[in-house]
Chains A and B, each alone.
Chain A
Amino acid sequence: MDFATLAAQLNAGTIVPEGIVIVTILLVIVGDLIVGRSVSARWTPYLAIGGLLLAVLALYQRWDSTSPISFFGEFNADNLSVVFRGIIALSAAGTILMSIRYVEQSGTSLAEFLTILLTAVLGGMFLAGSDELVSVYVSLETLSISSYLLTGYTKRDPRSNEAALKYLLIGASSSAIFLYGASLLYGLSGGETRLSAISAGIATAGLDQSIGLVIALVFAIAGIAFKIAAVPFHQWTPDVYEGSPTPVVAFLSVGSKAAGFALAIRLLVTAFPLVTEQWQFVMTALAILSMVLGNVVALAQTSMKRLLAYSSIGQAGFIMIGLVIGTDAGYASMVFYLMIYLFMNLGAFTCIILFTLRTGTDQISEYSGLYQKDPLLTLALSICLLSLGGIPPLAGFFGKLYLFWAGWQAGAYPLVLLGLVTSVISIYYYIRVVKMMVVKEPQEMSDSVKNYPAIRWDLQGMRPLQVGLVMTLVATTIAGILSNPLFTLANNSVTQTPMLQAAQKPAVQVSKDETVRLPIAL
């Protein structure tokens, strides 16, 4: 058979965005090979960004597609996956903007960095749409292995090495556990690997109440929880975030996490509908632990990157509230929050990179008095941190509001209350940084700020950094007030995804109280 019919049979049109990313990777590699390192560093990042934006455009065209299922059920390009793939691609684009100068300054090859980053993006994008165990595992591993490489990218720095090693070890063990769980699913369902067919297979085999299914569920959750950095599977996050090069941290905290959440939704809703109560219970426990531990330990941090690591653990806890409640509003609020989180976090990391580039340090105490020397950086970092804390009228407030409102509506009162309390705790450590930057008197300036270099934007790579900074700042500020487009996008992605709708309707009909009662058993 010829290529055209094959492509039509496979419905390969759904992976055109990923195809664009693959082409970009190839171009970057080959281009770098041909022109050499110093020359390629000038145009490869823009090519990569261009490719990513083109992919986003292709995704936009795939919105509301009539035939989302492709590759014999391996890939599902429904609206939910489109949104998540868009988030991952945009996070990578933002990361590239901030990494140009950083990688240059670290003396390593930018093109290779971009290649690995784009591969990670590829893995993440495939993961968001994978509907079958094999493709899930392969995309997950693609994403993870690329992330290990990215983490250890600055080879000369022992901290980066150590971070990479830890990430690899923990990541490998969790993916092994996940794989074991996947194999159990394969066995329990009587030989099915497609997620949609698994639950049917298990039901026909009569094994829906067996311990094997529970073990498979827990093992799968372990793998997912590693990716989204939920407590107690979070231990790698602070060390990896602290040791990795900062642009990598930005990507990990947004893109990798978004991919993890995409996997979580798809896997848990499609493959485990028979044990919905169990997984909701487990995820609730994880959410509570994450919210509490993430926010409380963040209070004691002195390193900015580590602080943001714990904060991202806490934020994952909040997002899990949306996952746990299982209503349309819950999923929509998750998507909405991830979109906003993208801007806030990328903005914060851009500011941190800028500060590190100029002063070489990451300690929070070194930020004091920054307002005197660099008002733009202070403004941007303050806005992003305040948005993370959930202060109106910034975007983060609306994201949290939607999450908590969805939770309250679904009856998850203890979760929402805990979320509110830990939000308050989180505001403390965000504002502490802002206070340090803004309020300190000139004589209380830290040494780094005293010796702050003159602000120059004309070095190579600084312009993209500035562009990224301003764009994320603007987005964070107005995405809350003008949040309607994002809101509708999030809502449509959920309401027009048949998988989620199918999952909800039986739950609603079977026992309305069950969906409402939920983890209130706590």
Chain B
Amino acid sequence: MEPIYQYAWLIPVLPLAGAMLVGLGLISFNKDVNRLRKVNSILIVSLIGAAMTLSFGLLWSQIQGHAPYNQSFEWASAGDFHLSMGYVIDPLSSLMLVIVTTVAFLVMVYTDGYMAHDSGYVRFYAYLSLFSSSMLGLVISPNLVQVYIFWELVGMCSYLLIGFWFYRKAAADACQKAFVTNRVGDFGLLLGILGLYWSTRSFEFDVIGDRLQDLVATGSMSGFVAGLFAILVFLGPVAKSAQFPLHVWLPDAMEGPTPISALIHAATMVAAGVFLIARMFPMFEGVPASMDVIAWTGAFTAFLGASIAITQNDIKKGLAYSTMSQLGYMVMAMGVGAYSAGLFHLMTHAYFKAMLFLGSGSVIHGMEEVVGHDPVYAQDMRMMGGLRKYMPMTAITFLIGTLAISGIPPFAGFWSKDEILGASFAANPVLWAIGYLTAGATAFYMFRMYFSTFEGQFRGTNATVKQTLKNEQLQKMGLAFGPGAMNPKELTMDTAIGEAVDPGHDDHGHHAEKPHESPWTMTLPLLILAVPSTLVGLVGTPFGNYFEAFIHAPGEAVHLAAEAEGLSEFYVMAGSSVGISLIGITLASLMYLRGKIDPSAIAAKIPFLYNLSLNKWYFDEIYDELFVRGSRRLARQVLEVDSKVVDGVVNLAGLATLLSGEGLKYFENGRAQFYALIIFVAVLGLVIFSGAT
């Protein structure tokens, strides 16, 4: 099986080659390449398909028990500083390879249908391929430096993809926000990497872990410093995996096209944070304080995400907050030491969340036929309803996904979430309680989404709803009538509110009365993804945890068979979590399916909480005031210092020199005897001085 390992480097390189080829083509022969749409997409899809096949091969080999394979070469060295680049194929990386390539493959197929009428079709494929390559490179990185390189690369690809429709102000703002927020996290990560290198002299994951523990044990480094480094490294995943407090970019990232919301912001890139925590697990384990921070951050994020999702009206935003919440679960799992549980949930979540997002994309695609290409209308769940009649395949796959995320057995989400809840109960009951309540909320808001979208009456042609939405949007615009706001003249009723018309998008001209099912290129991936969403959970059941046997924290011994006492605990746990999920589902059906309980009445009773949730806990406003305006103020002050003090000193030096020149020149008064006098005095002076010393 060696050849497959030797060619493992092809996995990230093939999509990269595709991206470069298409990219160069776009730069040089823009019009021609843009015309050859299908050629480009088939090329890119085939390349990722090849990568996917290779990944499957590697995973199979690893499952068979092949030893981890490491290949690296020295990239730079100066003295005793050595930097090596390469790749490592071990159980974790092979699993990640499969996840990323499969989801990427399906998303690329889906894109053909979704972006069929978009002018940036080819550019999108190039970016998708570039992203896939970066993500694949990230998961096979053998050391921190290479991880950091690919970390930044995926961040950049995310920026490009979120801002894909860059002529829309909202999208441009969103991609900038994503990039800057991620930058904060990346900065922390970089500082952490440097700090760890400074103390442990290594970039390798396991070496760092061992040496750091030794350093703290021998007392040559205070626990505080070790904890500081660990927290700094954790900042990277906090940003990348949208944990509190760097979570603000993820909902805004929904401005990007839905395929990338599925690929990047559900399945893969946001999982990179969890992946890094897994890789650095030996180090984190050695610093218990950092594990606590991780666990509580994850728990809080899970709760935060769920609490905001319950009031969201935009289908994609709702899914975004749900992603945030699930990521919180994964991070919490890592924090309590449940390594395999966290990664298991990563895997299951990747599949069902990708399916949910692709499903929402299909819904939006259908809605756009009816209400036009304005995301204010096409993505708002208040305009949807009863879509099951028109889009049956989308509906059934969405239902499967919803069941999975709500933790209903035997769907995938149940097994993974339950394992996390079990582990957190063992660590700290409060953490378990937060996770437990969040699980209930998850079920509630997910089914709220399902019922609002697919059940009931179709409200897409309802003029009153449309008016409500329009009023809301105008109000939001009104808030923006300050300096830097849009020109009110642009705000006409004909063009889409808050959006410039996509120059290349061909308008259908007419609006349909009813939505219809999406083309097979979109529904096929949905159907394919339904399979792992249902079944993949079965590899990690407590009855035979093959997953844990395959992927476990380094240095842990695992047994395959279940223990008897463990099983009874499992039943109690499972029962209670299924119970609260069912409660949530019932509540949602009562409010949104049957209409027995009125949501707005409840909202009116607790306006503070409702507004808090609707406005995302006001984080965006707080950050804007504190950081954005704060740093602007600081920059202005620094400018003052620079122009007055620094420039002043420089100018003063120049002026002083010129003035001294003007002054000294009068020593040459033109009288020869004066010169002679100076000479004799100088000689005398030198004699005295030299004689004295």
Q: Which residues of A are interface residues toward B (Cβ below 8 A)?
A: 165-166, 169-170, 173-174, 177, 211, 214-215, 217-219, 221-222, 226, 232-233, 235-236, 238-239, 278, 281-282, 293, 296-301, 425, 428
Contact = CB atoms under 8 A, between A and B. Distances in A.
A180 to B, nearest CB: 10
Interface in B178-223: none
Contact of A239 (B658, B660, B670): B670
B675 A211 contact: no
Closest 10 CB pairs of A and B: A299-B661, A235-B675, A300-B661, A166-B672, A232-B682, A296-B661, A218-B686, A300-B662, A300-B665, A297-B665
Contacts, number: 80
Given A278-B690, A293-B664, A296-B660, A222 B683 contact: yes
Given A211-B691, A226-B679, A293-B664, 10 more contacts: A166-B672, A169-B673, A173-B676, A173-B680, A174-B679, A177-B679, A177-B683, A217-B690, A239-B670, A425-B657
Q: Is the interface of B mostly helix, strand, loop or mixed?
A: helix
Contacts of A298: 661
A206 B687 CA distance: 20
Interface string B665-678: 10110101111101
B660 A169 contact: no
A170 B672 contact: yes
Contacts of B660: 296
A218 B679 contact: no
Contacts of A221: 686
Contacts of A236: 672, 675
Contacts of B654: 428
A221 B687 CA distance: 11
Nearest to B687: A218
10 contacts: A169-B673, A215-B691, A218-B686, A218-B690, A233-B682, A238-B668, A281-B690, A282-B690, A300-B661, A300-B664
Contacts of B657: 296, 299, 425
A48 B679 CA distance: 36
A239 B669 CA distance: 10
A218 B668 CA distance: 23
B400 to A, nearest CB: 71
A406 B24 CA distance: 50
Contacts of A232: 678-679, 682
Contacts of A296: 657, 660-661, 664
Contacts of B665: 297, 300-301
B658 A300 contact: yes
Nearest to A235: B675
B683 A235 contact: no
B373 to A, nearest CB: 56
Contacts of A211: 691
Contacts of B674: 235
Contacts of A299: 657-658, 661-662
Given A297-B664, A299-B658, A300-B658, A233 B679 contact: yes
Nearest to A212: B691
Contacts of A226: 679
A174 B691 CA distance: 20
Contacts of A174: 679
B661 to A, nearest CB: 4
A166 B675 contact: yes
B420 to A, nearest CB: 64
B668 A239 contact: yes
Contacts of B675: 166, 169-170, 235-236
A236 to B, nearest CB: 6
A170 B661 contact: no
A215 B664 contact: no
Interface string B217-259: 0000000000000000000000000000000000000000000
B404 to A, nearest CB: 68
A193 B676 CA distance: 28
A19 B691 CA distance: 43
B504 to A, nearest CB: 48
A233 B673 CA distance: 13
Contacts of B672: 165-166, 169-170, 236
Nearest to A424: B657
A165 B673 CA distance: 11
A361 B487 CA distance: 64
B660 to A, nearest CB: 5
Nearest to B675: A235
A347 B679 CA distance: 32
A428 B690 CA distance: 36
A218 B683 contact: yes
Contacts of B658: 299-300
A281 B692 CA distance: 13
Nearest to A172: B676
Contacts of A214: 687, 690-691
Contacts of A278: 690, 693
Of listed A169, A235, A298, residue having the most chain B CB within 10 A: A235
A425 B657 CA distance: 8
B690 A222 contact: no
A393 to B, nearest CB: 26
Nearest to A211: B691
A211 B667 CA distance: 31
A425 B658 CA distance: 9
Interface in B157-195: none
A173 B667 CA distance: 19
B676 A169 contact: yes
A305 to B, nearest CB: 14
Nearest to A226: B679
Contacts of A219: 683
Interface in B343-374: none
Contacts of A218: 683, 686-687, 690
A233 B675 CA distance: 8
A166 B678 CA distance: 14
A296 B687 CA distance: 27
Of listed B661, B664, B678, residue having the most chain A CB within 10 A: B661
Nearest to A298: B661
Contacts of A166: 672, 675
A197 B654 CA distance: 51
